[in-house]
Amino acid sequence: MTELNKLTIAQARDALKAGETTSTALTESCLAAIDAADALNAFVHKTPELALEQAKAADARIAAGDAPALCGIPLGIKDLFCTKGVPSQAASNILEGFKPEYESTVSQNLFDAGAVMLGKLNMDEFAMGSSNETSCYGNAVNPWRRGNDDTALTPGGSSGGSASAVSADLCLGATGTDTGGSIRQPAAFTGITGIKPTYGRCSRWGIIAFASSLDQAGPMTKDVRDSAIMLQAMCSHDPKDSTSVDFPVPDFEAALTGDIRGKTIGIPKEYRLDGMPEEIDQLWTRGKEMLADAGAKVVDISLPHTKYALPAYYVIAPAEASSNLARYDGVRYGHRAKLAAGDGITEMYEKTRAEGFGHEVQRRVMVGTYVLSAGFYDAYYNRARKVRALIKKDFDDAFAAGVDAILTPATPSAAFGLGEMAEADPVQMYLNDVFTVTVNLAGLPGISVPAGVDKRGLPLGLQLIGRPWEEGDLLNTAYVLERAAGFVSKPAKWW
Amino acid sequence: MSIDKATAAKVAKLARIKVEEDALPALAEEFNTILGFIEQLNEVDVEGVEPMTSVTPMRLKRREDVVTEGGQQDKILANAPDAREGFFAVPKVVE
């Protein structure tokens, strides 16, 4: 057998069931890999004692013949999820020392399914970023490099630690969250698979809020089958989240038939950007051919409001963030600034938030405050919500015309170097999410599948966008794409 | 719409984030870049379009108006920077 930490979830599950290994052995293998990978800065709070305790319990369940879907599978959890008694600080200094007294619904669902938690994963502060460079823990690093060039590359963001950890085989799978592309962009940058389900599939309860109408949790895994298995365990109806839907969760793994004959795949013309690298365009063309070869009908479609998705997002997301992050005031949890003689409560708020929030978070909170302020609410916030309705209608029209899934590139480039965007203005960084953000605004499921490498050997991803609530069908199309692309490259170990 | 230093200071105040005087011009500049990008939304004809409130049209679930998970004062105060006698403690609010 290969090294245990390199197994997929499905392989490990089958090996556990067959008695060929134990959860304890799997967990020890991952813990050793994590300790040897500090250079990636992916795991920022390690929980080895808890992991070994959970592994022991999983082994007992397997021995007793009571093994749920993820029994004994070691996972990493993004720092955005509140995990009981374990630091959960959204990569922000303002939540320094915060140890939740409760468990997020998604992580609880994973534990109920028998999963083992190896630790908490690095991310952009409050999930605001596309390169993991806004983290209070420092940058997470991509295990991939440009050939022999040892420039440190970004794993993407905001779920950069999750992407780096899965790509480097530090865990079998990881949780991510996606507000504008934070699962799909890092998955594409690191050669792994990541799916954001339909808004409402996963409970948001216990996930530290960024932009509540856009945030969704999802799995980041080594292949499509693993995403199906892990997503199944994460989804549930939850009375504690009023936007969580009370729909049955279908068997996503059973949907992976590999048969997409007769399906209609839409190619939106607005996703062809000026100045897009040739390699991305070629990959997109190959993706179309692969799906056509598998028997799907490929049609050109138009999503006319695509261009306005990013500007609408950069009104709506900061507006919601400014409201959500108002709770960090130095009173109930986390950091409180040291006060000078005579300072009152206003000084306490202002100093605490100036010290606790990083630059990007401060900027977004203030932009959100501005667009919601008296006199600008209609001009910015309400207008953006109207444009959002038009963006959703574009997708509704395409689906009504018979399209089953939409194929696009996942990102406008391969992973870039850490620090390379430091001189760029904030809008340049925001353009990373140009292909993914529409999906959050419309609440749709979207998946990124690794489909090739660029000329320097870096992975590139394709995105498939599905009909609402049809994650099973979407995963099946992704499965066909994955098999046709045959992407098996792994980063050469340098860490 | 151009944001000047005074507007930047006002926004920082509303957001309860202390920004030093000498950092205000750069902040105003950043706001202008972002707002310039957002201005594109003015090109869209939104006549007669309802602002979106929910991506999936649904009625919010209702429940009985009863205490579900009460009686957890210790847990609620456990992470407070300053908790005394069962309360959150803050600097003097009222003179």
Q: Are strands B87-88 and A116-121 parallel, antiparallel or unpaired?
A: unpaired
Average pLDDT in chain A: 96
SS3 content of chain A, % helix, strand, coil (to 5): 40, 15, 45
DSSP H or E segment with residue A221: strand A216-221
Note the pLDDT tens digit of each residue in A175-220: 999 999 999 999 999 999 999 999 999 999 999 999 999 999 999 9
Task: Flag whether B86 is in a domain.
Answer: no
Task: Flag whether B88 is in a domain.
Answer: no
Using an 8 Å Cβ cutoff, are A241 and A196 in contact?
A: no
Tell me the H-state helices in A373-410. Answer: 383-400
Q: What is the pLDDT of residue B1?
A: 57
Report A:29-48 residues touching B (Cβ under 8 A).
Answer: none
pTM confidence score: 0.97
Q: Is the peptide bond before A158 cis (omega within 30 degrees of 0)?
A: yes
A6 falls in which pLDDT band (50, 70, 90)? very high
Contact assignment for A239 to B90 by CB distance below 8 Å: no
Note the pLDDT tens digit of each residue in B41-76: 999 999 999 999 888 888 888 889 999 889 999 999
Backbone angles phi, psi at A308, to 5 degrees: -95, 5
Using an 8 Å Cβ cutoff, are A141 and A39 in contact?
A: yes
For residues A276-294, give the mean pLDDT.
95
Nearest-5° Cα angle at A393, A389 to A397: 180
Note the pLDDT tens digit of each residue in A8-42: 999 999 999 999 999 999 999 999 999 999 999 99
Domain holding B34, by residue range, is 5-43
Q: What is the pLDDT of residue A274?
A: 83
Report A:310-329 residues touching B (Cβ under 8 A).
Answer: 310-312, 314-315, 322, 326, 329
Contact assignment for B91 to A243 by CB distance below 8 Å: no
Which residues of A are designated catalytic?
78, 158, 182
Q: Does A344 touch chain B (CB under 8 A)?
A: yes
* Alpha-carbon span A159 to A216, nearest angstrom: 12
Tokens in use for A426? 């904030």
* Alpha-carbon span A447 to A465, nearest angstrom: 7
For residues A466-470, give the mean pLDDT.
97
With 60 as the cut, is the pLDDT of residue A1 above it? no
Distance between A35 CA and the closest CA of chain B, angstroms:
29
B94 falls in which pLDDT band (50, 70, 90)? confident
* B interface test, pick of A86, A212, A331, A394 with most B CB neighbours within 10 Å: A331
Q: What is the pLDDT of residue A423?
A: 84
Report A:370-429 residues touching B (Cβ under 8 A).
Answer: 370-371, 373, 380, 382-390, 392, 425-427
Instruction: Classify residue A138 as left (phi > 0), alpha (psi -120 to 50) or beta.
Output: left
| Chain B environment of A465 (Cβ under 8 Å) | none
Of residues B15, B30, B49, nearest to A365 (C-beta): B15
| Chain A environment of B93 (Cβ under 8 Å) | 344-345
Of residues B34, B41, B54, nearest to A387 (C-beta): B41
Task: Flag whether B85 is in a domain.
Answer: no
Note the pLDDT tens digit of each residue in A328-374: 999 999 999 999 999 999 999 999 999 999 999 999 999 999 999 98
The number of residues making up chain B comes to 95
A470-A195-A184-A431 Cα dihedral, nearest 10 degrees: 30
Please tell me the total count of domains within chain B: 1
Task: Flag whether B80 is in a domain.
Answer: no
Task: Flag whether B71 is in a domain.
Answer: no
Task: Flag whether B94 is in a domain.
Answer: no
Of residues B17, B31, B40, nearest to A308 (C-beta): B40
Task: Flag whether B19 is in a domain.
Answer: yes
Of residues B17, B35, B60, nearest to A242 (C-beta): B60
Note the pLDDT tens digit of each residue in A303-327: 999 999 999 999 999 999 999 999 9
Task: Flag whether B15 is in a domain.
Answer: yes
Q: Does B15 touch chain A (CB under 8 A)?
A: yes
